[in-house]
Amino acid sequence: MSFLGDMELDEVIIRRRDTRHFLPDPIDERVLEGLIKTANLAPSVGQSKPTRYIIVQDPVLRQKIKSNFLVQNEKAKILASGQDKDSDYAKLKLEGILEAPLGLVICCDLSVLKEFSIGTITQPREMLLASTSCAIHTLWLSLTQMGLGMGWVSILDFDELSSSLDLPAEWFPMGYFCIGKPATDYSSMPMLSLENWNSHLEPPIILYK
Amino acid sequence: MSFLGDMELDEVIIRRRDTRHFLPDPIDERVLEGLIKTANLAPSVGQSKPTRYIIVQDPVLRQKIKSNFLVQNEKAKILASGQDKDSDYAKLKLEGILEAPLGLVICCDLSVLKEFSIGTITQPREMLLASTSCAIHTLWLSLTQMGLGMGWVSILDFDELSSSLDLPAEWFPMGYFCIGKPATDYSSMPMLSLENWNSHLEPPIILYK
């Protein structure tokens, strides 16, 4: 199943969006499982493969996660209210937890450190989280190539998220991921740029030593 | 400059290797700068864009970083010696710091948290490091598409690395990255699989809730 046909890498990188507006069209979970298998080819430190995937189907669980978001977002609104920005934080739509047809929690299993692993001698937690981040980004690019969107929701109490999902103690959840067909491409720019929150056009900072 | 021509996303994901064996062919630093501009399109939490790039040209600095690796790798050899593996850790080549024509340190600038940023209310450090990891992976895929290789070296004392490079206190270095034309494709599998260290064929762990 491919909506857009195969795209070259640069086009996928340019088109990828953090999607918060979804169409209700259902997506077969086997499609997501196939893309997760590709994401499993992402680099992981010492091939530790610490990434774990939880597909969240239960509407009661999704409602709990939405409530978790709402509480944290109220705190964020207070912090944001003093900011000198051209946009209003409180009006930004920052998730599609209940609308997106697929919901996913992606975790980093820190218990892989119980055995010796290559490359984790000095910064084990950071290197494992980096590995899971690479898997997340691989999934995001693959979804983009298929014409699907993903939104990364991190405005959450992570301990409460773990508890809601009854996760093993050593699985660190990297967030909740909303997946489905995007309802908009935000005029081909990140939504935060469209909403005058942050520019996406600043050049990278490169030093020479 | 493109060595392999344009590749589709899946092919790039499959071909990407953690490269430790490099050809001496010089690579123009402007090529790397161009790819870093593309990596700057990677997702970052609240568009905080925390990633900073240091191209390491000074041979004295590179030698210092190599020495840093050697000290940490001796410690790793001791930890690895008790492992029941089919491969010998001490014989693995885990970096190409002096051979790779280009050297790069990629940092996450945690000082972006001094201002309010979207999505960092509960796990700010983790979300920023995840953003930089996505940029690193974007660079890695772009290099792969061009027929270039990258190796991520994390067997380092990170404080010493920061000190060697005189980095700002809030720039967390994610590792040293060796970049150049690969001398081998490791029989089209990860080197650690080729060396019987870890299998890369284990399926991902997916749960339903």
Say which of B9, B174, B175 has its CB closest to residue A12. B9
pLDDT at A7: 74
* Residues of chain B found within 8 Å of residue A115, distances taken between Cβ atoms: 83
pLDDT tens sequence across B30-69: 999 999 999 999 999 999 999 999 999 999 999 999 999 9
**Would the pLDDT of B3 be above 70?**
no
Q: Determine, yes or no, domain membership for B2.
A: no
Residue where the block lists tokens 């029989």: B187
Tell me if B87 sits within 8 A of B12, measured CB to CB: no
The total of other beta-carbon atoms located within 10 Å of residue B205's CB is 16
Do B122 and A155 count as a contact with CB atoms less than 8 A apart? yes
pLDDT at A86: 60
In chain B, % of residues over pLDDT 90: 83
Task: Give the sheet arrangement for strand A102-109, strand by strand.
Answer: A149-153, A171-180, A102-109, A51-55, B205-208
* Run of H or E residues at A29: helix A29-39
Residue ranges of B 31-60 with Cβ closer than 8 A to chain A: 33, 36-43, 45-49, 51-58
Q: Determine, yes or no, domain membership for A199.
A: no
**Would the pLDDT of A6 be above 80?**
no
Question: Cα–Cα distance between A71 and A182 in angstroms, integer?
Answer: 26
In angstroms, the separation between the Cα of residue A139 and the nearest Cα of chain B is: 11
Do A134 and B138 count as a contact with CB atoms less than 8 A apart? no
In angstroms, the separation between the Cα of residue A70 and the nearest Cα of chain B is: 12
Average pLDDT over residues A153-160: 98
pLDDT at A8: 87
Say which of B12, B36, B154 has its CB closest to residue A127. B154
User: How many domains is chain A partitioned into structurally?
Assistant: 1
Q: Determine, yes or no, domain membership for A182.
A: yes
| Beta bridge pairs of residue A149 | A180
The tokens of B35 are what?
A: 């790819």
Of residues B192, B190, B178, the one with CA closest to residue B20: B178
Say which of B40, B109, B116 has its CB closest to residue A79. B116
Q: For residue A13, name the pLDDT band (cuts at 50, 70, 90).
A: very high
pLDDT at B143: 97
Average pLDDT over residues A6-24: 93
Do B83 and A116 count as a contact with CB atoms less than 8 A apart? yes
Question: Cα–Cα distance between B87 and B17 in angstroms, integer?
Answer: 19
Question: Cα–Cα distance between A6 and A41 in angstroms, integer?
Answer: 19
pLDDT at B86: 60
pLDDT at B5: 57
Average pLDDT over residues B20-27: 97
Q: Determine, yes or no, domain membership for B137.
A: yes
Do B10 and A38 count as a contact with CB atoms less than 8 A apart? yes
* Residues of chain B found within 8 Å of residue A206, distances taken between Cβ atoms: 33, 36, 53-55
**Would the pLDDT of A183 be above 80?**
yes
ipTM for the complex? 0.95
C-alpha R_g of chain A: 18
Q: Determine, yes or no, domain membership for B1.
A: no
Q: Determine, yes or no, domain membership for A6.
A: no
CATH of the domain at B166: 3.40.109.10
The least confident of B10-19, B42-51, B195-204 is B195-204
* Run of H or E residues at B69: helix B59-80
* Residues of chain B found within 8 Å of residue A209, distances taken between Cβ atoms: 54-58, 61, 165-166
Average pLDDT over residues B184-209: 90
pLDDT at B1: 37
Residue ranges of B 165-184 with Cβ closer than 8 A to chain A: 165-166, 172, 174-175
Tell me if A107 sits within 8 A of A132, measured CB to CB: yes
Q: How many CB pairs under 8 A join A and B?
A: 257
Mean pLDDT of chain A: 93
**Would the pLDDT of B2 be above 50?**
no
| Beta bridge pairs of residue B18 | B150
Question: Cα–Cα distance between B173 and B150 in angstroms, integer?
Answer: 16
Question: Cα–Cα distance between B187 and B198 in angstroms, integer?
Answer: 15
**Would the pLDDT of B151 be above 60?**
yes
Residue ranges of B 72-131 with Cβ closer than 8 A to chain A: 72, 75-76, 79-80, 82-83, 89, 92, 94, 109, 115-116, 118-123, 126-127, 129-130
DSSP, collapsed to helix, strand or coil, labels residue A201 as coil
**Would the pLDDT of A84 be above 80?**
no
Do B155 and A6 count as a contact with CB atoms less than 8 A apart? no
Say which of B49, B204, B209 has its CB closest to residue A40. B204
Average pLDDT over residues A1-14: 73
Question: Cα–Cα distance between B117 and B46 in angstroms, integer?
Answer: 6
Q: Considering Cα of A184, then A187, then A189, then A195, what sign does the dihedral take?
A: negative
Q: For residue A201, name the pLDDT band (cuts at 50, 70, 90).
A: confident
Say which of A6, A94, A121 has its CB closest to residue B76. A121
* Residues of chain A found within 8 Å of residue B176, distances taken between Cβ atoms: none
pTM score over 0.90: yes
Average pLDDT over residues B144-161: 97
pLDDT at A142: 96
Do B16 and A41 count as a contact with CB atoms less than 8 A apart? yes
Q: Which own/partner pairs from A114-118 qualify as long-range (CB within 8 Å, at least 24 positions apart)?
A: A115/B83, A116/B79, A116/B80, A116/B82, A116/B83, A117/A45, A117/A46, A117/A48, A118/A45, A118/A46, A118/A47, A118/A48, A118/B76, A118/B80, A118/B89, A118/B92, A118/B94, A118/B155, A118/B192, A118/B197
Q: Determine, yes or no, domain membership for A171.
A: yes
Do B145 and A9 count as a contact with CB atoms less than 8 A apart? yes
Q: Determine, yes or no, domain membership for B6.
A: no
The tokens of A91 are what?
A: 């009006």
- Residue-range definition of the domain harbouring residue A123: 20-194
* Residues of chain B found within 8 Å of residue A157, distances taken between Cβ atoms: 122
Tell me if A68 sits within 8 A of A156, measured CB to CB: yes
Q: For residue B196, name the pLDDT band (cuts at 50, 70, 90).
A: confident
Tell me if B137 sits within 8 A of A133, measured CB to CB: yes
pLDDT tens sequence across A92-124: 999 999 999 999 999 999 999 998 899 999 999
pLDDT at A82: 75
